[in-house]
Chain A
Amino acid sequence: MTRHVRAEALARYREGDLGGRRSARVRAHLAGCPRCTALDEDLARVSVMLASAPAPVMPEQVTARIEAALAAEGARQAPLGAGSARPAPLGAGRGLRRPGRSSRPGGSRHATGRVGGRRRHLPELLSPLTVRALAAAAAVVLAGGVYGAVQLLGGPSAAVPGSASSAAGIDQHGVASTGPRLAYASAGRRADFTPVSTGTDFQPGRLRSQVSSLLGSQGQGSGLPPANGHRQAATEPGALPSAPSASPLGSQSFQGIRFTALQGCVSRISAGRQVLLVDVDQYQGRPATVVVVAGGPGGSRVWVVGRGCSRTDSDVIAQASLAAAG
């Protein structure tokens, strides 16, 4: 009787991975050896065992997180997106082949690095003017539609229930309204933000200073609040009458934006980072939401998005970075 077959040789034999002569020898041996035949069967069971693990389903929070990251990447690459739009060609296909042999530890640097990347295929956003026009149109529809009030009227209290006055009613300054705490997807963990409406009409040239002043009124020297979990955006601007809005719309929307849309929008824009401010207001006199997201290269980012912003669409009107230096 020939020698017993080692497990590895047997496993390779099963895969047809042995040369002809060795293969023939194993076959002959197996025919007369119960012990190696049992080993052979055990090897078959290893594959069955591996296959027996049920296929996992992606958890919703992972889906939301990656969708948000992709959305932010798309927005970041957009023409309005700041940052260095340098065309850093990676070379088609480079780094994709030979994964098994490549052992360079930085092999995924392009994947984790937040700078660079290709820009040739950038999704083109609608022109800012178009976007704003659409957003304004949407606001008008909303104002007369199911969700009713979009406006913020003067006085310390929140929006007037049921009023369907035009979006022009928003054009009041020094008025604040606060929405409820809403959850958003943050790096797979739960986090919330509190949308506010400070009555600010943000302007292109003053976006940074306007946002800084809103953030700075929290008493943070850098203009940025500490990155410690949840923050109640509504409580900071000292001059603001904190008016928790007993939502006139059955707790389903804030300033005419559905909570779910706002949550999706913030999840998408924040891409897992901490949200410092969500101000549902105006930009150049048109309805817009300003979202400030902490961290990242180049400091916090200010996103101005239109009413069309949701989990699936960024609707970015403008953006700027709040570099530490100002």
Chain B
Amino acid sequence: MAIPLEARSLSLLRAGNSVLDDVSFTINAGEIFALLGGNGAGKSSTLLTFLGFLEPSNGDVLVNGSSVRNDIAAARSAIAYLPESASLYGHMTAYENLSYFLDLAGKPANREDIDAALDKVALAEEARTRRLQSYSKGMRQKTAIALALLRETPILLLDEPTSGLDPVAIDEFHDLVKALANNGQTILMVTHDVYGACQIADRVGLLRGGKLVGSFSAENGERIDTETVHAAFAERETA
């Protein structure tokens, strides 16, 4: 089976500046990979490269074994993308937003499917027929997560998915992601949250200044050690 996500010596320039420098990793089916890094480290840019919005200046990104630049549409259709500070349409309800985006993806869903997904992210039922402009940040984030779930794609790219969620919602979200991975979906998740990343990820990659400076794996069914990762993350100050 083809490797769902792979970066091969990926380098990237944005506005003439080096944003990613020789980054390589592979993520296998059913794996959760957390990309950790400070502001401006290049995390979001990595996701955009997998989606074909940014073109590598060197190296390559592959989705399901084939280079993204060869068939951007195919790569995108295999991926559900949760953008950083996702914003759906404020003038539409959760139902309307989700049906619009699912139509757009060519995967129309019925009301029951949508309700099931909104149940999973615990969006209050009374809110579902309200316009998103009346939502809190966390409620909007939950709706966007529901969209990613409903896409039922083999791959999920999540950019700071827990931002705006309360601690209970974060725990629930972590359970949800684990369930998806158990189901065989491949997850690349970008986060600042060292603790959260270590909680659920099979592997954590540490990105600093566009370079992959560390990689931590869960060994023999144990969690990745938060202390170790945190220490590595904090080195940024001294580096």
Q: Do A and B come from one complex?
A: no
Q: List B residues at the A interface (Cβ < 8 Å).
A: none
Q: List A residues at the B interface (Cβ < 8 Å).
A: none
